[in-house]
Amino acid sequence: MALDADTPLNSLGIAKPVADTRVVVAMSGGVDSSVVAAMLADEGYDVVGVTLQLYDHGAALAKKGACCAGIDIHDARRVAEEMGFPHYVLDYENIFKDAVIDEFADSYLAGATPVPCIRCNERVKFKDLLETAKDLDADCMATGHYIQRFDGPAGPELHSAADANRDQSYFLFSTTPEQLSFLRFPLGHLASKDETRALAAKYGLSVADKPDSQDICFVPDGDYAGVIEKLRPGAAEPGEIVDTEGNVLGTHNGVIHYTVGQRRGLGIGGLETPLYVVKLDVDNRRVIVGPKEMLATRIVPVREINWLGDAPFDSQPEWHVAVRVRSTRPPQPAILRPISATEAEVELLTPEEGVSPGQACVFYDTDSSRIFGGGWIWRGH
Protein backbone atom coordinates (compact mmCIF):
# COMPACT_ATOMS: atom_id res chain seq x y z
CA MET A 1 0.00 0.00 0.00
CA ALA A 2 1.21 3.51 -0.78
CA LEU A 3 2.25 5.41 2.29
CA ASP A 4 1.50 9.04 2.89
CA ALA A 5 4.60 11.12 3.62
CA ASP A 6 2.91 12.08 6.87
CA THR A 7 2.55 8.48 8.09
CA PRO A 8 3.82 8.62 11.69
CA LEU A 9 6.63 6.34 12.85
CA ASN A 10 5.45 3.36 14.86
CA SER A 11 7.14 2.18 18.07
CA LEU A 12 9.83 0.41 16.00
CA GLY A 13 10.66 3.62 14.13
CA ILE A 14 9.06 2.49 10.85
CA ALA A 15 6.65 4.69 8.90
CA LYS A 16 3.92 2.09 8.57
CA PRO A 17 0.81 1.13 10.50
CA VAL A 18 1.67 -1.43 13.19
CA ALA A 19 -0.49 -4.17 11.63
CA ASP A 20 1.33 -3.78 8.29
CA THR A 21 4.81 -3.98 9.85
CA ARG A 22 6.37 -7.43 9.72
CA VAL A 23 8.96 -8.20 12.39
CA VAL A 24 11.08 -11.34 12.42
CA VAL A 25 12.01 -12.13 16.04
CA ALA A 26 15.10 -14.26 16.65
CA MET A 27 13.84 -16.62 19.36
CA SER A 28 16.32 -18.65 21.40
CA GLY A 29 13.65 -20.16 23.64
CA GLY A 30 14.77 -18.04 26.58
CA VAL A 31 12.84 -15.40 28.51
CA ASP A 32 14.33 -12.36 26.77
CA SER A 33 13.53 -13.18 23.15
CA SER A 34 10.19 -14.69 24.15
CA VAL A 35 9.18 -11.43 25.83
CA VAL A 36 10.21 -9.44 22.74
CA ALA A 37 8.05 -11.64 20.50
CA ALA A 38 5.07 -11.54 22.89
CA MET A 39 5.33 -7.79 23.41
CA LEU A 40 5.40 -7.04 19.68
CA ALA A 41 2.58 -9.50 18.96
CA ASP A 42 0.55 -7.89 21.75
CA GLU A 43 1.12 -4.46 20.20
CA GLY A 44 -0.35 -5.77 16.95
CA TYR A 45 2.77 -6.22 14.81
CA ASP A 46 2.93 -8.98 12.18
CA VAL A 47 5.38 -11.17 14.12
CA VAL A 48 7.23 -14.16 12.69
CA GLY A 49 9.32 -16.17 15.18
CA VAL A 50 12.50 -17.88 13.98
CA THR A 51 14.65 -20.26 16.02
CA LEU A 52 18.00 -21.55 14.83
CA GLN A 53 19.02 -25.15 15.34
CA LEU A 54 22.76 -24.74 15.67
CA TYR A 55 24.03 -28.20 16.51
CA ASP A 56 22.94 -31.81 16.86
CA HIS A 57 19.42 -31.97 18.21
CA GLY A 58 19.68 -35.38 19.89
CA ALA A 59 22.90 -34.57 21.71
CA ALA A 60 21.57 -31.17 22.71
CA LEU A 61 18.38 -32.42 24.35
CA ALA A 62 20.21 -33.63 27.44
CA LYS A 63 22.05 -30.36 28.02
CA LYS A 64 20.58 -28.01 30.59
CA GLY A 65 21.14 -24.27 30.41
CA ALA A 66 22.34 -24.28 26.82
CA CYS A 67 20.87 -21.97 24.20
CA CYS A 68 19.17 -23.29 21.07
CA ALA A 69 19.10 -26.91 22.26
CA GLY A 70 16.08 -29.14 21.65
CA ILE A 71 14.24 -28.02 24.79
CA ASP A 72 14.71 -24.37 23.77
CA ILE A 73 13.25 -24.97 20.31
CA HIS A 74 10.23 -26.53 22.04
CA ASP A 75 9.93 -23.53 24.40
CA ALA A 76 10.12 -21.01 21.54
CA ARG A 77 7.46 -22.89 19.59
CA ARG A 78 5.20 -22.94 22.65
CA VAL A 79 5.46 -19.18 23.12
CA ALA A 80 4.51 -18.68 19.46
CA GLU A 81 1.46 -20.91 19.96
CA GLU A 82 0.50 -19.06 23.15
CA MET A 83 0.71 -15.66 21.41
CA GLY A 84 -0.67 -16.83 18.07
CA PHE A 85 2.06 -16.06 15.55
CA PRO A 86 3.94 -18.33 13.10
CA HIS A 87 7.23 -19.92 14.15
CA TYR A 88 9.95 -21.53 12.05
CA VAL A 89 12.99 -23.61 12.97
CA LEU A 90 15.93 -23.21 10.60
CA ASP A 91 18.70 -25.80 10.44
CA TYR A 92 21.91 -23.77 10.62
CA GLU A 93 24.14 -26.60 11.84
CA ASN A 94 26.56 -26.50 8.90
CA ILE A 95 26.80 -22.71 8.87
CA PHE A 96 27.35 -22.66 12.64
CA LYS A 97 30.05 -25.33 12.49
CA ASP A 98 31.91 -23.58 9.66
CA ALA A 99 31.52 -20.02 10.96
CA VAL A 100 31.79 -20.49 14.72
CA ILE A 101 32.74 -23.90 16.13
CA ASP A 102 35.74 -24.64 13.89
CA GLU A 103 37.30 -21.24 14.51
CA PHE A 104 36.65 -21.59 18.23
CA ALA A 105 38.55 -24.89 18.29
CA ASP A 106 41.43 -23.64 16.14
CA SER A 107 41.94 -20.36 18.01
CA TYR A 108 41.74 -22.13 21.37
CA LEU A 109 44.38 -24.59 20.19
CA ALA A 110 46.52 -21.64 19.09
CA GLY A 111 46.59 -20.39 22.68
CA ALA A 112 43.91 -17.72 22.26
CA THR A 113 40.83 -17.22 24.42
CA PRO A 114 38.02 -17.02 21.85
CA VAL A 115 34.56 -15.47 22.31
CA PRO A 116 32.35 -17.55 20.00
CA CYS A 117 29.16 -15.69 20.93
CA ILE A 118 30.46 -12.61 19.09
CA ARG A 119 31.25 -14.63 15.97
CA CYS A 120 27.78 -16.21 16.14
CA ASN A 121 26.11 -12.79 16.24
CA GLU A 122 28.37 -11.50 13.47
CA ARG A 123 28.41 -14.47 11.10
CA VAL A 124 25.16 -16.31 11.77
CA LYS A 125 22.44 -14.30 13.51
CA PHE A 126 23.12 -10.87 12.01
CA LYS A 127 24.23 -12.20 8.63
CA ASP A 128 22.40 -15.33 7.45
CA LEU A 129 19.40 -14.96 9.74
CA LEU A 130 19.08 -11.27 8.89
CA GLU A 131 19.08 -12.13 5.16
CA THR A 132 16.40 -14.75 5.86
CA ALA A 133 14.32 -12.07 7.61
CA LYS A 134 14.57 -9.89 4.50
CA ASP A 135 13.55 -12.87 2.34
CA LEU A 136 10.45 -13.13 4.53
CA ASP A 137 9.65 -9.50 3.60
CA ALA A 138 10.26 -8.31 7.14
CA ASP A 139 10.57 -4.59 7.83
CA CYS A 140 13.03 -5.28 10.64
CA MET A 141 14.45 -8.02 12.85
CA ALA A 142 14.15 -7.88 16.64
CA THR A 143 16.25 -9.72 19.24
CA GLY A 144 16.25 -10.06 23.03
CA HIS A 145 19.72 -8.55 23.45
CA TYR A 146 20.26 -5.96 26.17
CA ILE A 147 21.59 -3.09 24.08
CA GLN A 148 20.06 0.10 22.69
CA ARG A 149 19.78 1.52 19.20
CA PHE A 150 19.08 5.20 18.63
CA ASP A 151 18.60 7.12 15.40
CA GLY A 152 21.35 9.73 15.44
CA PRO A 153 22.03 12.63 13.04
CA ALA A 154 24.40 10.45 10.98
CA GLY A 155 22.31 7.26 11.13
CA PRO A 156 21.55 4.53 13.67
CA GLU A 157 23.82 4.45 16.73
CA LEU A 158 24.60 1.58 19.10
CA HIS A 159 24.33 2.37 22.83
CA SER A 160 24.84 0.39 26.03
CA ALA A 161 21.78 -1.06 27.77
CA ALA A 162 20.11 0.96 30.51
CA ASP A 163 20.93 -1.85 32.96
CA ALA A 164 24.74 -2.03 33.14
CA ASN A 165 24.55 -5.49 34.73
CA ARG A 166 22.75 -6.89 31.67
CA ASP A 167 24.54 -4.89 28.98
CA GLN A 168 25.61 -7.07 26.04
CA SER A 169 27.53 -4.47 24.03
CA TYR A 170 30.77 -6.47 24.35
CA PHE A 171 29.16 -9.26 22.31
CA LEU A 172 27.62 -6.98 19.67
CA PHE A 173 30.45 -4.60 18.76
CA SER A 174 30.82 -6.13 15.28
CA THR A 175 27.28 -5.16 14.25
CA THR A 176 27.66 -3.06 11.09
CA PRO A 177 25.79 0.19 10.34
CA GLU A 178 23.84 -1.63 7.60
CA GLN A 179 22.76 -4.37 10.02
CA LEU A 180 21.94 -1.78 12.66
CA SER A 181 19.50 -0.04 10.34
CA PHE A 182 17.47 -3.29 10.15
CA LEU A 183 17.81 -4.46 13.77
CA ARG A 184 15.73 -3.56 16.82
CA PHE A 185 16.42 -4.30 20.51
CA PRO A 186 13.18 -3.73 22.44
CA LEU A 187 14.60 -4.70 25.87
CA GLY A 188 17.62 -2.38 25.94
CA HIS A 189 15.83 0.39 27.83
CA LEU A 190 14.61 -1.83 30.71
CA ALA A 191 16.08 -1.06 34.12
CA SER A 192 16.49 -4.70 35.24
CA LYS A 193 15.92 -8.34 34.37
CA ASP A 194 13.09 -8.34 36.90
CA GLU A 195 11.14 -6.10 34.51
CA THR A 196 11.61 -8.65 31.73
CA ARG A 197 10.35 -11.49 33.93
CA ALA A 198 7.39 -9.34 35.01
CA LEU A 199 6.50 -8.85 31.34
CA ALA A 200 6.78 -12.62 30.75
CA ALA A 201 4.35 -13.18 33.62
CA LYS A 202 2.03 -10.47 32.27
CA TYR A 203 1.81 -12.25 28.92
CA GLY A 204 1.39 -15.60 30.69
CA LEU A 205 4.45 -17.11 29.03
CA SER A 206 5.44 -20.63 29.98
CA VAL A 207 9.12 -19.53 30.09
CA ALA A 208 8.56 -16.75 32.67
CA ASP A 209 10.61 -18.54 35.35
CA LYS A 210 13.10 -20.26 33.04
CA PRO A 211 16.66 -19.72 34.29
CA ASP A 212 19.14 -17.76 32.18
CA SER A 213 21.65 -19.74 30.15
CA GLN A 214 25.15 -19.16 31.50
CA ASP A 215 27.38 -21.11 29.17
CA ILE A 216 28.41 -21.02 25.55
CA CYS A 217 25.65 -22.99 23.84
CA PHE A 218 27.88 -25.81 22.58
CA VAL A 219 29.94 -25.87 25.81
CA PRO A 220 27.02 -26.30 28.22
CA ASP A 221 28.99 -27.35 31.28
CA GLY A 222 31.84 -24.89 30.78
CA ASP A 223 34.24 -27.72 29.92
CA TYR A 224 36.07 -26.05 27.02
CA ALA A 225 38.88 -28.61 27.00
CA GLY A 226 36.45 -31.53 26.74
CA VAL A 227 34.76 -29.98 23.70
CA ILE A 228 38.11 -29.23 22.03
CA GLU A 229 39.27 -32.82 22.55
CA LYS A 230 36.13 -34.07 20.80
CA LEU A 231 36.53 -31.62 17.93
CA ARG A 232 40.29 -32.03 17.58
CA PRO A 233 41.38 -35.47 18.82
CA GLY A 234 44.98 -35.50 20.07
CA ALA A 235 44.87 -31.83 21.05
CA ALA A 236 45.47 -32.56 24.73
CA GLU A 237 49.09 -33.63 24.39
CA PRO A 238 51.23 -33.33 27.53
CA GLY A 239 54.13 -30.91 27.86
CA GLU A 240 56.17 -28.80 30.26
CA ILE A 241 55.36 -25.93 32.58
CA VAL A 242 58.33 -23.54 32.46
CA ASP A 243 59.28 -20.16 33.88
CA THR A 244 60.25 -17.21 31.68
CA GLU A 245 63.87 -18.38 31.65
CA GLY A 246 62.84 -21.79 30.32
CA ASN A 247 63.43 -23.69 33.57
CA VAL A 248 61.10 -26.67 33.84
CA LEU A 249 58.85 -26.42 36.91
CA GLY A 250 56.42 -29.22 36.16
CA THR A 251 54.34 -30.94 33.51
CA HIS A 252 50.83 -30.53 32.16
CA ASN A 253 48.36 -32.74 30.29
CA GLY A 254 47.57 -30.35 27.45
CA VAL A 255 47.91 -26.61 26.72
CA ILE A 256 44.15 -26.49 26.09
CA HIS A 257 43.54 -26.83 29.84
CA TYR A 258 45.15 -23.42 30.55
CA THR A 259 44.36 -19.77 29.93
CA VAL A 260 46.46 -16.64 30.28
CA GLY A 261 46.04 -15.22 33.79
CA GLN A 262 45.29 -18.59 35.40
CA ARG A 263 46.78 -19.21 38.84
CA ARG A 264 44.97 -22.24 40.23
CA GLY A 265 45.54 -25.81 39.16
CA LEU A 266 49.12 -25.43 37.98
CA GLY A 267 50.38 -28.15 40.29
CA ILE A 268 53.66 -26.39 41.06
CA GLY A 269 53.47 -25.69 44.79
CA GLY A 270 56.25 -24.86 47.20
CA LEU A 271 57.19 -21.57 45.54
CA GLU A 272 57.46 -18.33 47.52
CA THR A 273 55.90 -16.15 44.82
CA PRO A 274 52.52 -17.12 43.33
CA LEU A 275 52.89 -17.85 39.62
CA TYR A 276 50.39 -17.21 36.84
CA VAL A 277 50.12 -18.39 33.26
CA VAL A 278 51.63 -15.52 31.27
CA LYS A 279 51.85 -17.17 27.84
CA LEU A 280 50.93 -20.36 26.00
CA ASP A 281 53.56 -21.67 23.60
CA VAL A 282 51.40 -24.01 21.57
CA ASP A 283 54.05 -25.06 19.04
CA ASN A 284 56.36 -26.35 21.79
CA ARG A 285 53.50 -27.51 24.05
CA ARG A 286 54.73 -25.27 26.84
CA VAL A 287 52.80 -23.36 29.50
CA ILE A 288 54.91 -20.36 30.53
CA VAL A 289 54.40 -18.99 34.04
CA GLY A 290 55.62 -15.89 35.80
CA PRO A 291 54.83 -13.36 38.55
CA LYS A 292 51.59 -11.39 38.48
CA GLU A 293 53.21 -8.17 37.24
CA MET A 294 54.05 -9.91 33.96
CA LEU A 295 50.34 -10.06 33.19
CA ALA A 296 50.00 -6.28 33.09
CA THR A 297 49.49 -5.02 29.55
CA ARG A 298 49.48 -1.40 28.36
CA ILE A 299 49.67 -1.72 24.56
CA VAL A 300 47.04 -3.91 22.87
CA PRO A 301 47.17 -4.60 19.12
CA VAL A 302 43.69 -4.84 17.59
CA ARG A 303 42.55 -5.84 14.10
CA GLU A 304 39.34 -6.63 12.15
CA ILE A 305 37.95 -3.37 13.52
CA ASN A 306 34.28 -2.57 13.01
CA TRP A 307 33.97 1.19 13.42
CA LEU A 308 30.63 2.76 14.36
CA GLY A 309 31.74 6.39 14.74
CA ASP A 310 30.41 9.13 12.48
CA ALA A 311 33.80 10.16 11.02
CA PRO A 312 36.01 7.54 9.27
CA PHE A 313 38.17 5.58 11.70
CA ASP A 314 41.49 6.59 10.18
CA SER A 315 40.50 10.23 9.67
CA GLN A 316 42.45 11.32 12.75
CA PRO A 317 45.67 10.09 14.40
CA GLU A 318 44.08 9.12 17.71
CA TRP A 319 40.76 8.76 19.48
CA HIS A 320 40.28 9.16 23.23
CA VAL A 321 37.81 6.45 24.22
CA ALA A 322 37.06 3.94 26.95
CA VAL A 323 37.72 0.30 26.10
CA ARG A 324 36.67 -3.04 27.46
CA VAL A 325 39.11 -5.92 26.98
CA ARG A 326 36.98 -8.54 28.75
CA SER A 327 33.23 -8.87 29.03
CA THR A 328 33.41 -8.91 32.83
CA ARG A 329 35.31 -5.63 33.26
CA PRO A 330 34.02 -2.06 33.04
CA PRO A 331 35.34 0.20 30.25
CA GLN A 332 38.67 1.89 31.06
CA PRO A 333 40.23 5.06 29.54
CA ALA A 334 42.43 4.43 26.52
CA ILE A 335 43.94 6.04 23.44
CA LEU A 336 43.08 4.41 20.14
CA ARG A 337 45.64 4.92 17.37
CA PRO A 338 44.53 3.80 13.89
CA ILE A 339 47.10 1.97 11.77
CA SER A 340 44.63 1.43 8.91
CA ALA A 341 40.85 1.42 8.49
CA THR A 342 40.68 -1.94 10.31
CA GLU A 343 43.81 -2.06 12.53
CA ALA A 344 44.90 -0.08 15.55
CA GLU A 345 47.09 0.07 18.58
CA VAL A 346 45.24 0.62 21.83
CA GLU A 347 47.10 2.21 24.74
CA LEU A 348 45.46 1.47 28.09
CA LEU A 349 46.03 4.43 30.43
CA THR A 350 45.96 1.97 33.33
CA PRO A 351 47.57 -1.39 32.47
CA GLU A 352 45.22 -4.39 32.65
CA GLU A 353 46.01 -7.97 33.59
CA GLY A 354 45.19 -11.05 31.58
CA VAL A 355 44.69 -9.36 28.21
CA SER A 356 44.58 -12.33 25.84
CA PRO A 357 44.63 -12.82 22.06
CA GLY A 358 41.22 -13.95 20.85
CA GLN A 359 39.32 -11.62 23.17
CA ALA A 360 37.50 -8.57 21.86
CA CYS A 361 38.43 -4.95 22.56
CA VAL A 362 35.30 -2.80 22.46
CA PHE A 363 35.34 1.01 22.16
CA TYR A 364 33.01 3.31 24.11
CA ASP A 365 32.39 7.04 24.10
CA THR A 366 33.72 8.57 27.33
CA ASP A 367 30.85 11.08 27.53
CA SER A 368 27.81 8.98 26.66
CA SER A 369 26.46 5.44 26.39
CA ARG A 370 27.46 5.18 22.73
CA ILE A 371 29.54 2.28 21.40
CA PHE A 372 32.06 3.08 18.68
CA GLY A 373 32.61 -0.54 17.64
CA GLY A 374 35.66 -2.62 18.42
CA GLY A 375 38.07 -5.24 17.14
CA TRP A 376 39.95 -8.42 18.02
CA ILE A 377 43.08 -8.62 20.18
CA TRP A 378 45.51 -10.58 18.11
CA ARG A 379 48.77 -11.18 19.82
CA GLY A 380 50.18 -11.18 23.32
CA HIS A 381 52.44 -8.62 24.87
- Cite the active site residues: 120, 217
> How many of the other CB atoms lie within 10 Å of CB of 55?
19
Residue 32 in contact with residue 187, Cβ under 8 Å? Answer: yes
CA distance 207 to 45: 21
Q: How far apart are the first and last CA of the chain?
A: 59
- What residue type is 4 in one-letter code? D
CA distance 134 to 142: 12
Q: Are strands 46-53 and 87-91 parallel, antiparallel or unpaired?
A: parallel
DSSP string, 2-28: PPPTTPPP-TTS-SS-GGG-EEEEE--
Nearest C-alpha neighbor of 19 from the set 7, 32, 35? 7
Residue 43 in contact with residue 11, Cβ under 8 Å? Answer: yes
Residue 366 in contact with residue 320, Cβ under 8 Å? Answer: yes
CA distance 376 to 361: 6
CA distance 168 to 285: 35
Q: Supply φ then ψ for residue 200, to 5 degrees.
A: -60, -40
CA distance 185 to 105: 30
- Between vectors from CA 146 to CA 105 and to CA 319, what angle results, nearest 5°? 80
Angle between helices 193-202 and 31-43 (to 10 degrees): 50
Residue 307 in contact with residue 373, Cβ under 8 Å? Answer: yes
CA distance 76 to 82: 10
